[in-house]
Amino acid sequence: MDKQSVQAFYDQKYLGYHREQPENFDYYKRNQVLKRIYHDGQSQRILDLGAGRGTVSQFFLQKNYEVYAIEWTQAGVERLNQAGIKAFQHDIEAFPYPFEDNYFDEIFWGDNIEHLFFPERTLNEIHRILKPGGRLVLSTPNHGWIINRLYYLIMGVPRRTEGGNTPIWEWQHIRYFNRSIICQLLDRCGFSKNFRFHGAEQRQPFGVLSRFFPALFGSVMVVESHK
């Protein structure tokens, strides 16, 4: 599939950018973890990589960060710029990004790695533009979640981790991670081995259990690592 076909696919998926309001930040279970791990940004530069409708970017603005964003769709970039975010239209898998080496204090990469053909190349580029000691926070569906394990055991196929009701051959999620795999990938790309791993889930009893056993009971994982 050529790049133009992929671009057209996602543009069609996100035609609603111009008319839809940003979703409620608290609605998505992952964002409860973000509220625990982000504090006063003290005007530091942060990049929201794959910013979408800008829900998390606006959260960072409220936390006193200087917020930059990369978004693939033109409609998304326009919304982000209107909200006071320094947004760039750019393919996440096209390198280099329009930033100097060691430019950002922090980078947030939310629920995007599972869509990419070459996540290792993207992590190498993130490593380039992140300052020494800078923090990367990424989130992605956790295929180690106990429900995903049981589903595969019983059904013999992966459980859907995206919205809609499309058949498996049309899924947008094409890469699958659990705690072990994501930590191996981060280590391979030069990030510190001192990872912090969080599990996100609202449904009980998983919500409580995910605070103590995140790799098994969080349906979404949030990983903190440093350059």
Pairing of strands 220-226, 130-141: antiparallel
Domain ranges of the chain: 3-226
How many residues would you count in the chain? 227
Confidence tier at 18 by pLDDT (50, 70, 90): very low
Q: What is the mean pLDDT of residues 61-83?
A: 92
pLDDT given at position 123: 98
> Is the Cα torsion angle 119, 117, 66, 37 positive or negative in sign?
negative
More confident residue, 180 or 21: 180
pTM for the model: 0.91
Q: Which of 100, 130, 92 has the alpha carbon at shortest distance from 3?
A: 92
pLDDT given at position 145: 96
Tell me: the pLDDT tens digits for 88-108? 999 999 999 999 999 999 999
Confidence tier at 213 by pLDDT (50, 70, 90): very high
What is the CATH T-level fold of the domain 3-226, as seen in this structure?
Rossmann fold (3.40.50)
Confidence check: pLDDT of 25 > 60 = yes
Tell me: the pLDDT tens digits for 42-61? 999 999 999 988 999 999 99
- Residue 52 contacts residue 72 (beta carbons within 8 Å): no
- Residue 215 contacts residue 144 (beta carbons within 8 Å): yes
Mean pLDDT for all residues in the chain: 90
Tell me: the pLDDT tens digits for 75-92? 889 889 999 999 999 999
